[in-house]
Chains A and B, each alone.
Chain A
């Protein structure tokens, strides 16, 4: 019933005390990272889980607003506490000192195979505009409050170094990056929850996810936001390869492989309008008009649709 055996599983040992200053670890690094159930690891894990949940939306049906709000509040709470603890700062500094984009590249390369292929074929990966990469950051602003820190919390991974390919960028956005293959098991070194979430992303019109991220880029670009993204970048590197979460695997085991076909997704030929997270955005936020930089026609169609829907929902 409960997921068992995952290394990063919370120890179900009751409430985590808020005032647990002595449990805050020193500057985390790869070496000192341990799999004991320390408070901050658990908290980070909870943060991960929450961010993934926010991404998971039903394909066809509007997401549950109450659930989204509750999860978002939880994320905000964690992030506030991390800020108070100074953990936030520590992680930021650690990332600044870290020199290993390669970790991410490896992971994202594997994860974003399809996009790589597309790139090699000479097309810009359709939903993942390199233009967005420069901004390098987008936030799941939907359920977050206005303050920058919060948005930073919600920000997904984005490459710190601009020379990272858009594939890496893929790893960033939307909570640990999209994965295009179901048989990513062997690559789940860093992607335990990311896998699950990614597969769900498949259903959720990933390029919509990114497009909404693109919008958020424009809205939330600031030095602070970069900090946030670095935090999450750190996180991705930090965490070891927990075994795949069986519950999540099972959840996504029957994802329709046709969803991996970006073309199909973009042209909306599928019967299922995969606008999950995007819809979440639309239904919850009233962010500014989209202005995606990509010149892909598919994207512009989406832009229009974004715009229209935003007007309608916003009204």
Chain B
């Protein structure tokens, strides 16, 4: 698969941007999750307003071969509505926390979308034909008088404008007291897990009124609570294995064959702390915001505030690779704590061949790391560099006193422009980057 950085290697080019250009960003339009489906044909985004927008990859046109296939809107629907919990007198946000696609089994597409409390299974299906020539009703739907019918005919399927319908097929509700942060479809394609701050539940896709609680870290006395679950994922190949990460920077791998309640982990991943860099913020920046298995299932990647770590599942005591995302922020931790940026939850993703990883940063920067060449690159998702097929210029943050031309100093970074959600096409070098309310799609030059 392709490499990551520029030079003689592949270069990332702007392809498309979706979303409003306004300076005033409506809160509801802020993208909260991005996910390609298994084939990469579809790209789903969820936003704070509870809407899901699905883009479909158009085939390259033979007539205009220079236009690589683009992603165009395929379906838009309101997945979750704001709710009010009357018992607690609290609103339940409609923000879509995660979207996960199911593997395609027939012509329809299925995805799971979740807000803080409720998971929904959506069926997205196409309708491009309709039947005409009914016997008992007219073309405009009026019933025909049966006595007037003198002959029978067989209705014929006629083409119609493509209509994409999204319908909720299952609603998995009332299983989580705390906020759902992750959902993950199991490799058996029949079950999935959902994780909130303190518990993880296992569901069957067909059964909505029951779920199994497989992890519960809620202490008997809530005053003793010092650690929460931050992310969870099913192993891509072994349906009995899943991992969950915590706010203390640890990852636990569990095997559902061992016990019904997986409170005792099979493996415990934690990197020993470096005593020389200990500070009051050490725990906060060690909190893992995302965990992702590699496609091969051999590795997993975790994202904490300043770095991305790749772990070999066979080695628990330290990661095999560590990549610094924005180490220049280490000296700014107090300010970042003050303005709450230190609590931002960045996600990370693998490319299709597991040779590269990507994660976001501030100032609409995002970073890619090539695991083989150990090269890394910083790119920016901005309207300025959004000319069609324009190659993205690598960006650099200057950390020393002297700032070179084209570099940006740490204090000039815009911490309101954060890239928390990114996705990499499962097969091709196409990436989707969510920058607040805009979705950028980049492709490599050689497609």
Asked if B343 contacts A67 (CB within 8 A), the reply is yes
Chain B residues with CB below 8 A from A313, complex form: 88, 177
Chain B residues with CB below 8 A from A61, complex form: 90-93
- How many B residues, CB 8 Å from partner? 46
Asked if A74 contacts B283 (CB within 8 A), the reply is yes
A62-B287 contact, Cβ under 8 Å, with A12-B331, A67-B343, A309-B88: no
- At the interface with chain B, which of A179-187, A224-232, A277-285? A277-285
Mask of B397-411 contacts with A, CB within 8 angstroms, 1/0: 000000000000001
Asked if A69 contacts B225 (CB within 8 A), the reply is yes
Asked if A10 contacts B334 (CB within 8 A), the reply is yes
Nearest CB of chain B from residue A59's CB, rounded to whole Å: 9
Asked if A77 contacts B280 (CB within 8 A), the reply is yes
Q: Is B129 an interface residue (CB 8 A)?
A: no
- At the interface with chain B, which of A139-147, A157-165, A252-260? A139-147
Q: Is B335 an interface residue (CB 8 A)?
A: yes
Q: Is A54 an interface residue (CB 8 A)?
A: no
Chain A residue nearest to B177 in the complex (CB): A313
A285-B223 contact, Cβ under 8 Å, with A10-B334, A49-B337, A64-B179: yes
* Cα distance A69–B179 in the bound complex, in angstroms: 14
Asked if A146 contacts B91 (CB within 8 A), the reply is no
Q: Is A286 an interface residue (CB 8 A)?
A: yes
Q: Is B212 an interface residue (CB 8 A)?
A: no
Asked if B178 contacts A1 (CB within 8 A), the reply is no
Asked if A275 contacts B332 (CB within 8 A), the reply is no
Asked if A146 contacts B88 (CB within 8 A), the reply is no
Q: Is B8 an interface residue (CB 8 A)?
A: no
Q: Is B314 an interface residue (CB 8 A)?
A: no
Nearest CB of chain B from residue A228's CB, rounded to whole Å: 16
Asked if A3 contacts B90 (CB within 8 A), the reply is no
Contact of A12 among B177, B227, B335, B340 (CB under 8 A): B335
Mask of A10-38 contacts with B, CB within 8 angstroms, 1/0: 10111110100000000000000000000
Mask of A103-146 contacts with B, CB within 8 angstroms, 1/0: 00000000000000000000000000000000000000111111
Q: Is B105 an interface residue (CB 8 A)?
A: no
Nearest CB of chain A from residue B222's CB, rounded to whole Å: 5
Chain B residue nearest to A251 in the complex (CB): B339
* Cα distance A127–B413 in the bound complex, in angstroms: 43
Chain B residues with CB below 8 A from A46, complex form: 280, 334, 337
* Cα distance A1–B336 in the bound complex, in angstroms: 10
What are 5 A-B pairs at a CB distance below 8 A?
Answer: A2-B411, A10-B335, A69-B225, A146-B223, A286-B223
Contact of B339 among A77, A78, A247 (CB under 8 A): A247
Q: Is B61 an interface residue (CB 8 A)?
A: no
Chain A residues with CB below 8 A from B179, complex form: 62, 64-65
Q: Is B387 an interface residue (CB 8 A)?
A: no
Asked if B91 contacts A60 (CB within 8 A), the reply is yes
A65-B178 contact, Cβ under 8 Å, with A2-B335, A145-B224, A286-B221: yes
- Chain A to chain B: the 3 pairs with minimum beta-carbon distance, closest first: A15-B279, A273-B89, A10-B334
Contact of A141 among B197, B223, B247, B280 (CB under 8 A): B223
Mask of B220-240 contacts with A, CB within 8 angstroms, 1/0: 011111111010000000000
Asked if A73 contacts B277 (CB within 8 A), the reply is no
Q: Which of A44-66 contact B (CB under 8 A)?
A: 46, 49, 53, 60-62, 64-66
A286-B411 contact, Cβ under 8 Å, with A14-B331, A70-B343, A273-B89: no
Nearest CB of chain A from residue B221's CB, rounded to whole Å: 6
A66-B230 contact, Cβ under 8 Å, with A1-B413, A2-B332, A12-B331: yes
Asked if B284 contacts A70 (CB within 8 A), the reply is yes
10 more CB-based (< 8 A) A-B contacts, given A65-B228, A69-B226: A12-B335, A16-B280, A49-B338, A60-B91, A61-B92, A66-B247, A67-B340, A141-B223, A279-B89, A313-B88
Nearest CB of chain A from residue B224's CB, rounded to whole Å: 6
* Cα distance A78–B92 in the bound complex, in angstroms: 33
Chain B residue nearest to A276 in the complex (CB): B90
- In the complex, which of the residues B89, B281, B283 has the most CB atoms of chain A within 10 Å of its own CB atom? B89
* Cα distance A202–B30 in the bound complex, in angstroms: 28
Nearest CB of chain B from residue A83's CB, rounded to whole Å: 15
A66-B287 contact, Cβ under 8 Å, with A3-B335, A61-B90, A313-B88: yes
* Cα distance A286–B224 in the bound complex, in angstroms: 10
Chain B residues with CB below 8 A from A143, complex form: 223, 225
Asked if A145 contacts B226 (CB within 8 A), the reply is yes
Chain A residues with CB below 8 A from B221, complex form: 146, 286
Q: Is B87 an interface residue (CB 8 A)?
A: yes
A70-B247 contact, Cβ under 8 Å, with A49-B338, A64-B179, A78-B280: yes
Asked if B287 contacts A16 (CB within 8 A), the reply is no
Chain B residues with CB below 8 A from A65, complex form: 178-179, 197-198, 228
Nearest CB of chain B from residue A225's CB, rounded to whole Å: 15
Asked if A13 contacts B222 (CB within 8 A), the reply is no
Chain A residues with CB below 8 A from B90, complex form: 60-62, 273, 275, 279
Chain B residues with CB below 8 A from A60, complex form: 90-91
Q: Is A97 an interface residue (CB 8 A)?
A: no
Chain B residues with CB below 8 A from A73, complex form: 226, 283
Chain B residues with CB below 8 A from A78, complex form: 280
Chain A residues with CB below 8 A from B227, complex form: 69
